[in-house]
Amino acid sequence: GCHVTQQNHVTSVEEVSLDGSPREKAALITSSLLLWVFMFPHMELAVLLTLLLCLEAAVRFGVDGRQQWPVPYRRFDHRPTADSYCEALYPFCPTGDRDGRIPYMRDDDVISVFRLQTPVWEFKYGDLLGKFHIMHDAIGFSSSQTGANYTMEWYELFQLGNCTFPHLRPEAPAPFWCNQGAACFFEGIDDLHWLQNGTLEKIGEVTGSQFNDLAQWVQLDNQTGIYYETWTVRSDPSPNSTVWFESYDCSQFVHRTYRKLKELGAKLSSRSPTYYTKIYLYSGEPTYLGNDSAIFGTPALENLAADIRKFYFTFRPHQSFLDFAFSLVEAYKKIVLDKTFYLYYNFEYWHLPMKYPYMQIVYEEVPLPE
C-alpha cells in the first residue's frame, strides 16, 4: 500500500473558533485549559481533571452540546500495520510502488486527467454487478512529455466484505475487524478494463507542478484516512433528509481528489453526467453505544455485547448455502422486523433504529466541481 511520512501540525488558538469542527473546538478548549494552568498553577487537580473530561464530549457533541450530523470521519496520525489474521483474497496494489511513492513530474509537463469507472469485480464477473449499478471509480493520468500513463484508485486492503462486517473469534470478546482502505498508484491504464463495461473519459489537464502538489496531498490523505466505510446512513430518501454518517470509499476518494484538483487550479468537465454508486441505510436518529472496551469490557453491558455479536454472526463469512439462507431470514427479522442495525464507525458502535425502505443501492449524479 501507500506509505507516507508522518507530518506534524500544531494548532494554535488563533486557528480555531467555536464555529469550527469538533476537533477544532477540542483544540481550543485544550489550549485554553493549558493557558489556565499556566496562569493559575495552584488550581485544584480535581477541577482540572473534570475540565479535561469534558474534552471527549466536546469532540463528539461540540461545544454547544449537540451531536454533529453527519458524524465526522475520524483521521489518524499514521497508518497502523495490518494484523496478520487479516488476509486478502486478492493482494492489494500488486503493481504499485511498495513504499507508495508517486513519480515526480516536470513543472512544465502537461498531465491529462481521466475519469475511470467500471463494474466492481469486472475482471471476474464482467458486467454482472454493473447491471445493478455497483461501480468502482478511479482516476487516470497521462504525461505529455514522457507518454507514461498512470492509474490511481482507493479501495479495501482485505476486500469489501471484511470492511463491512467483522469476524467473530472465539478467543476475543469483541468482534474483530479487518478494515483498512488505502490509495494505490501504479503505472499504466488498462483501457479494455475501463472501456468495455464502464467509462474512460478525459476530463481535464493539469501542469506537472499541480500534479506534484496533488501527489503530496494524496500521500497525506492516505496516511490519515485509514479505514473503509461502506454505508451512507440518512433519515429517509428525500433530497433534504439528514445524513447521519457518510461513506468513505473509492468514489469519495475520487470526489476529494477532484475537489483538490479544482483547489489547485484545474478545470474539469465531462461530456456526460457523472454518476456514482451509494449504498444507503435509512434510520431514525442513531444512538451512541461506545467503543470495544466500553461495551465488551463492562459486565453491566453484557446483554448489549451479546446482541451485537449475535447481529454480526448473521453476516459471518464462509457460510454454506443452507446457513446463508437461514442468515438472510435472521437479517430480515433483525433489520426489518426488529428495526435494528449496529453500525461500527470511527471504531465505535452505534445503534440505528431502522426505517423503511431500510436499504437502497442508488446510482446518483454527483457533478464535477465547478
Known catalytic residues are 136, 250
How far is 301 from 311, CA to CA, in rounded Å?
Answer: 15
> What DSSP character marks residue 317?
S
Q: Which of 222, 105, 200 is nearest to 154 (CA)?
A: 222
Residue labelled with grid coordinates 461506545: 290
- Contact (Cβ atoms closer than 8 angstroms) between residue 150 and residue 210: no
The HSE-up count of residue 167 (CA atoms within 13 Å, CB side) is 15
How far is 256 from 369, CA to CA, in rounded Å?
Answer: 10
> What DSSP character marks residue 136?
E
The radius of gyration of the chain from alpha carbons, rounded to an integer in Å, stands at 23
Q: Please tell me whether residue 58 adopts helix, strand or coil conformation.
A: helix
User: Maximum CA pair distance of the chain?
Assistant: 72
Q: Which of 199, 214, 176 is nearest to 251 (CA)?
A: 199
